[in-house]
A and B are shown apart, each in its own frame.
Chain A
Amino acid sequence: MSAALQADGVAVRYPGAAAPVLADFDLAVAPGEIVALLGPSGVGKSSLLRVLGGLQAPSAGAVTAGGVAVHAPQPRIAVAFQDPGLLPWLTLEANVAFGLDFKRQPARSKAERQALVDAAIAEVGLDAARKLHPAALSGGMAQRTALARCLARRPEVLLLDEPFGALDEVTRADMQRLLLKVVADHGAAALIITHDIDEALALADRVVLLGGAPARAIGEWPIALPHPRDDAIAETGALRVEILTALRAAIRPH
């Protein structure tokens, strides 16, 4: 079975830069697997996510999703950014539905689209708020809406760029539980970019550390703990120290 998302020798170069910011990056994410991509700021995490999502071409290497080459944004990959980026002139429901009817998305009838939207809104628990506009939503609700917008498209791959970075502690824990649930329900592969070790430990089946210049994967730790990890999190203490040490070592050479 092919990986839901695979990167082979991917390099990322900023426009006009001589050397790539990130090189020789290999990764395979299996369906249902959650991988956390950890690294210091400026290491090219967000650019890598753009490449994996087909929003930007790699300067070397290739990305495939479900065995198909990724050259452009495609329906099987959904990207969620740190900021929900909801459209203020649309209701929550219309925000979730946004883009489902676009020409380059799979052709679906109006009823099919509505069913997907209804299911996604129910999944994130926002049924009561569906007619509200984004200005009336809390940060957590907005982030749930953004997640529902991704889920409505039934993606096989979820790419999340610091999705919960702007949320308070309680809301973040809430969103993490929700993410675990929907990833399990959908069997989607999820790649989470984060600089928060605890978030990586709480969510990921595998943590990949980026570092160096040009950046590459410099460490990888499987986390074979059952979800939810609220009780088991103490067991990750040693691992946390190990990853933190590696992360510090990755920052220091600069």
Chain B
Amino acid sequence: MSTPSAAAPRRRRAAGGLGYALLGAAGLGAVLALWWIATEALPRDGSFARMFAPGPTFAALGELVGGRDLPLHVMVSLKRIAVGLALALAIGVPLGLAVGASARLEAATTPAFQLLRMISPLSWMPIAVMTFGVGDAPIYFLLTFAAVWPIVLNTAAGVRQLDRRWLLLAESLAATKAETLGRIVLPGVMAHVLTGLRLAIGISWIVLVPCEMLGVSAGLGYFILDTRDRLAYPELMATVLVIGVLGFLLDGAARWAHRRWAPAV
């Protein structure tokens, strides 16, 4: 889909694309160098810090990726993220549509949402475990609780910014409520929902690891503690690296989805 209005910035991005990619790679290289300096160049021989150095870490990573444990923990974690996001979408989109459509409901809910949103989801953890027991349920609850707010708030903002002309069009075509919702409102707020989803993915991924440190026996958070208990520090560092790379890829996927499905307004 080529658009005249988007063509100019796109050209600039294409011309600077390689340069920017090289700059990005240089930034990653700098992080790698700092890591190496902090764990290998500066510490004395036999120092504890050397266990976390890039060399041993990448060696451990190679073994972990080829092994059985890490892929299992990754799959468990990704499944929890997927369930949490699905629940957050199922709750957040209808709620956001309602809040965006009604000024009264918005007035009634905004302070409450802003308050609840600012409570770190992790602070609910003991209560969640007491309520839902150990296992996946409290993690689903916490992830949903973390992810639902950006989806609600962005969906509501999307409804408020719906183009009046589209609603006028629906009206002049004698659209039913369901047709207006399904054919105008939902596609019209899709860009905002996807923006909310992208934020939600970031928050979920950050909240996931500490969530998995309590009451479960699988997942990346559990595996972090497991490597610590086994004193397998290169593996611990490799897992940290995996968490970063997976988060990076998840965000990339969210950005791609946004480009793919958000209307080119």
Residues of chain A whose beta carbon lies under 8 Å from any beta carbon of chain B: 53, 55, 72-75, 78-79, 81, 83, 85, 87-89, 98-99, 102-105, 133, 135-136
Contact = CB atoms under 8 A, between A and B. Distances in A.
Interface stretch (B2-10, B23-31, B58-66, B98-106): B2-10
Interface stretch (B89-97, B121-129, B161-169): B161-169
Interface in B153-173: 163, 165-166, 168-173
A188 to B, nearest CB: 16
B264 interface: yes
A163 to B, nearest CB: 13
Given A85-B163, A135-B5, A73 B172 contact: yes
Contact of A136 (B2, B165, B172): B2
Contacts of A72: 174
Interface of B: 1-6, 163, 165-166, 168-176, 179, 183-184, 187-188, 190, 263-265
B165 A85 contact: yes
Interface of A is mostly: loop
A133 B3 CA distance: 8
Contacts of A87: 166, 169, 184, 187-188, 263
Given A85-B166, A88-B265, A135-B265, A104 B174 contact: yes
A75 B173 CA distance: 7
A81 B173 contact: no
A32 B183 CA distance: 33
Contact of B172 (A55, A83, A89, A103): A55
Given A81-B165, A135-B3, A135-B5, A73 B265 contact: no
B174 A136 contact: no
B173 A99 contact: yes
A139 B189 CA distance: 24
